Amino acid sequence: MKKILLLLSLVFLFSCSDSNGSSTYTPEGIERNSVLFNEIYITRVVSNFIVQALQNKDITVYGDGSQTRSFCFASDLVEAILLTMEQTQSVGPINIGNPGEFTILELAEKVIKLTGSKSKIIKEPLPSDDPKHRQPDISKAKKILNWEPKINLEEGLALTIEYFRRGL
């Protein structure tokens, strides 16, 4: 039953949220408990970097690579969503994610190292709408859900790389 609720919650969240996943509403227009998504490892940049590295292709970094991100591994995200659905003390958004922040250039370098790739990093112009900084404040999730992510960037990348390695 929890798996069905989780799936329905994700479908509803993505279909009823703004571009940041910041609010969800009941059909009556009442804000419900929602989860603010940061990035998980099912992001385009992670999958692109990993596939490029596994194929020893150049990895494209936009701008100088100093823009920051913080990714939350999928299992940590699922745990937080389930805790959010089960808790009753808060109504409204609870930001979840991994506050461990790093640059896109650091991400590319880690992917190359962890895959053992011969890929080179090439730089392209930074799109004007690319956010310079992304790092969630998960203090409400820590307080209300007694939750914080368990999987760090390197561990999550290793698991994700292995997933893509098996698929290629």
Q: How far apart are CA 27 and CA 10, in angstroms?
A: 16
Domain count, the chain: 1
Domain extent, residue 159, equals 2-167
Give the position of tokens 């698929």.
167
Mean pLDDT in residue range 129-140: 88
Mean pLDDT in residue range 76-89: 88
Mean pLDDT in residue range 79-100: 87
Q: How far apart are CA 107 and CA 93, in angstroms?
A: 29
- Tens digit of each residue's pLDDT (9 = 90 or more) over 109-123: 999 999 999 999 999
Q: How far apart are CA 121 and CA 53, in angstroms?
A: 10
> What CATH number should be reported for the domain holding residue 88?
3.40.50.720
Compare 152 and 89 and report the one with higher pLDDT: 152
161 phi/psi in degrees, rounded to 5: -60, -45
Calculate what percentage of the chain has a pLDDT beyond 90.
45
Q: How far apart are CA 158 and CA 121, in angstroms?
A: 19
CA angle 70, 75, 79 (to 5 degrees): 100
